[in-house]
Amino acid sequence: MKEKAGVVFVTAEEMRKMDDVTIQEFHVDVLVLMENAGRATAALAKQMLRETTFGKRVACLVGGGNNGGDGMVAARHLANWGADVNVIVGATKDRMKDVPLGQLHVLEKMGIPILLGDYNLRDYDLLIDGLIGYGLEGNPRNKVAVVIKDANASGRQILALDLPSGMNATTGEVYDPCIKATVTLTLALPKTGFLAPSASPFLGDLFLADISVPRRVYETFGQQNLLFQKEAIRKI
């Protein structure tokens, strides 16, 4: 745990404990956290699209973990706001966790295209990176690595969800490959890895999202001030 400008930065393990306390002790369901994370991501995506989502082409790049589930919630909201959304998955259904798999089923019922391949990321106005969460240790592999490379080569704006896929949340080590984000929207608290010099070129502008973690949980982790007094998203 570190502090900068009055904001606490946490390691991956500390963030994992915060999630566990929020869900197990305070009974805030993971679906509530995911919904708030996804809606915040969609709201920031809308800002990046200059407040106009209707007709804009957005690709949500998602993996099989909860980070991917957050990205799929963002896809749903953006589609509801008139964007032309495609979801590009880096994991097959049999390798998805139950909660993100449920989000995928919602998107399928909505008729949002789910792509395993045959995509050109240059065709989109914005890419949302929800491929890998804060638990990564080591180089991204297989399909996820291919999608990261394609995203970086596209020349399009990239909004990274929680942290750029391919970055170690605790140390800031940049693995090969790693998303080079235009904007990063980190969830609940920023990660200690963001303070490393190696991380800076990959983060872009850094924002923090309120996902409804109770204030008492923040205080347990040393964040005494109320983080979100006016808005659910703040720049840090």
- pLDDT of residue 226 exceeding 60: no
- Percentages of the chain per state (helix, strand, coil), in multiples of 5: 40, 20, 40
Q: Over the stretch 153-198, which tens digit does the pLDDT of each residue have?
A: 999 999 999 999 999 999 999 999 999 999 999 999 999 999 999 9
Three-class DSSP category at 47: helix
- pLDDT of residue 225 exceeding 70: no
Q: Which amino acid is at 57?
A: R
For 2-235, the fitting CATH number among 3.90.1170.40, 3.10.450.50, 2.60.40.10, 3.40.50.10260 is 3.40.50.10260
Higher pLDDT, 117 or 147: 147
Mean pLDDT of the chain: 94
Rounded Cα distance between 44 and 46, Å, is 5
Question: Structure pTM?
Answer: 0.95
Rounded Cα distance between 153 and 18, Å, is 35
Tokens of 64: 């099989």
At 17, the pLDDT band (50, 70, 90 cuts) reads very high
Rounded Cα distance between 64 and 139, Å, is 16
How many other C-beta atoms lie within 10 A of the C-beta of residue 207?
19
